[in-house]
Amino acid sequence: FAKGPLAGRHVLVTSGPTHEPIDPVRYIANRSSGAQGTAIAAALRDLGARVTFVTGPASVPPPGGVDVVRVETAAQMLGAVEAALPAEAAIFAAAVADWRVMNAATSKMKKDGSGKAPAMEFAQNPDILAQVSGLAQGRPALVVGFAAETDDVIANATAKRLRKGCDWIVANDVSPVTGIMGGAENAVTVISGDGAESWPRMGKAAVAQRLAAKIAEALA
Ligand code: C5P
């Protein structure tokens, strides 16, 4: 049996990018490595939680000792999240693609010799964080979102918290100069109804441990 402040608690973590198909061999993705989500899942596990880890195609392996659910697309991630509920806390660290290709081809697209490129139409993906935050029944007691921003980080993240209806937003600056996206370190500000708390730049594992401790405190 697990020991620790989160023993007997079920928590859900989403992580990684999603891949949105263009045709059977091509997709649209983003630069998320899954490192921060993976570290959070491991830290929650280390506090004794039963962790369901819903992950897109990440470049780091999932942690051991958690229930791993692998998905590719945002639509599949939403389905996996719904199937994993109820949970006492849900941490949405995935970098979900905002759009999917509407007219994805079922066989490989070919150049037709005309010199013309194909046109792509996009549809907006479901916002998993907003949907779970808005659940009238079965909403996790604590819903945590992330805000990867390049400008006006705190103002944008504060607005995002209200728009999405989550309890906390973990904001970070992913401007290329910070080296945070895909890097080993993170500098975050945790925004809750009580205000904004900026943490010093530290390794992603340290951010995860501090966040997991704060989650355990909130659920206590
Ligand atoms: O709106 P934005 O993508 O910046 O919001 C980021 C937060 O929302 C992250 O917590 C992310 O995991 C979550 N999200 C989601 N489903 C989406 C888009 C974002 O769960 N389709």
118-162: pLDDT as tens digits: 999 999 999 999 999 999 999 999 999 999 888 999 999 999 999
Question: 180 falls in which pLDDT band (50, 70, 90)?
Answer: confident
| Residue 69 domain flag | yes
Mean pLDDT for the stretch of residues 48-75: 98
| Residue 112 domain flag | no
> How far, in Å, is the centroid of ligand 1 from the Cα of 61?
21
The CA distance from 44 to 210, in Å, is 10
| Residue 107 domain flag | no
| Residue 108 domain flag | no
Mean pLDDT over the full length of the chain: 95
| Residue 3 domain flag | no
| Residue 113 domain flag | no
54: domain range? 10-102+122-219
The CA distance from 192 to 189, in Å, is 10
| Residue 73 domain flag | yes
Question: 48 falls in which pLDDT band (50, 70, 90)?
Answer: very high
Distance of CA 6 to the CA centre of its chain: 21
Mean pLDDT for the stretch of residues 181-191: 88
> Which atom of ligand 1 is nearest to 146's Cα?
10
What is the ipTM for the molecules in this complex?
A: 0.97
Domain count, the chain: 1
Read off the CATH number of the domain in which 63 is found. Answer: 3.40.50.10300
Pocket lining: 167 vs ligand 1, CB cutoff 6 Å: no
Does 185 score more than 80 pLDDT? Answer: yes
pLDDT score recorded for residue 130 = 98
pLDDT score recorded for residue 176 = 86
pLDDT score recorded for residue 183 = 78
| Residue 151 domain flag | yes
Q: Which string of DSSP letters, residue by residue, matches 70-86?
A: E--SHHHHHHHHHHH--
> How far, in Å, is the centroid of ligand 1 from the Cα of 130?
8
Percentage of residues in the chain with pLDDT exceeding 90?
87
Percentage of residues in the chain with pLDDT exceeding 70?
100
> Which atom of ligand 1 is nearest to 129's Cα?
20
